[in-house]
Amino acid sequence: MTIRGVLFDVDGTLYDYEEAEEAGLHEHLVAEGLSAGFASRAEALRVWREVREAEYPRFLSGELTFAAQKAARIRRFLAAAGVAGATGTTDEAAAAWFASYAVHRDAVRRAFEDVRPALGALAGRFRLGVVSNSVTAHQRAKLEAIGLLHYFTEPLVCSQEHGAAKPAASIFLAGCEALGLAPAEVAYVGDDYEKDAVGARDAGLRAVWLDRSASGRPDAAAAGIRVIASLAELATGP
């Protein structure tokens, strides 16, 4: 079938999450006087991301709410920073700490440079949508803040409201349904090889893996997955 729609992942694909995260964390630790709790800025970022990678999957699996995973992350991170009584931090205090960090993070958030030209080239020729492992209101606000929301068909499809996370086939199929298209008419673009590319392929969509770091997967083509290094490669279509 001819491809008529394109679904996108958000973080790491459209939004430069890691750059904003690093800058936001550094500024917040300086403001909180916690920089001395780590040997270096790089060490603080390593711990922050290690904790995120441990706790965020608990939200995706349904074990924790979105807010609860934030609180769990803050307790573990503050404990690693040597803050006394960190493990007893209340949910309210953890939420306030995370919110203060988010102010610093959001001050520098941006879309990748290749995003607007790519979406502009695709808009009008393809129906565009979002499938994300997150919360709809959170991702909608993010896309609006970085000037991208108007490109996408509503509803955005996110795991919290859908009830399953990528790589589950159902969330990709829900994205296709939101576009009003069959899976074979839709391409999915994301930066996570297993969750995005393999998951989309297994759900019957055309899978496009965005490999910005050129890490390489020699088996991708044989697996039926297109590999691109930049969204600029989508200018002629997925």
Query: Per-residue pLDDT tens for 21-56?
Result: 999 999 999 999 998 889 999 999 999 999 999 999
Query: Per-residue pLDDT tens for 49-102?
Result: 999 999 999 999 999 999 999 999 999 999 999 998 998 999 999 999 999 999
CATH of domain 5-16+110-234: 3.40.50.1000
Residue 21 CB contacts under 8 Å (≥ 6 apart), including other chains: 45, 48, 49, 105
Q: Is the pLDDT of residue 8 over 80?
A: yes
Q: Is the pLDDT of residue 1 over 80?
A: no
Q: At 189, is the pLDDT very low, low, confident or very high (cuts 50, 70, 90)?
A: very high
Beta-bridge partner residues of 5? 127, 186
Q: Say what the pLDDT of residue 214 is.
A: 87
DSSP reduced 3-state for 117: helix
Domain ranges, ordered by start, for the chain: 5-16+110-234, 17-107
Q: Is the pLDDT of residue 148 over 80?
A: yes
**CA 52/CA 11 separation, integer angstroms:** 14
- Percentage of the chain beyond pLDDT 90 is 90
**Torsion angle, CA of 180/185/186/187, rounded to 10 degrees?**
-170
Query: Per-residue pLDDT tens for 203-229?
Result: 999 999 999 988 888 889 899 999 999
Unique residue bearing structure tokens 């203060």: 100
- Residues belonging to the chain: 238
**CA 83/CA 215 separation, integer angstroms:** 37
Query: Per-residue pLDDT tens for 96-132?
Result: 999 999 999 999 999 999 999 999 999 989 999 999 9
Q: What Rg, from alpha-carbon coordinates, does the chain have?
A: 19
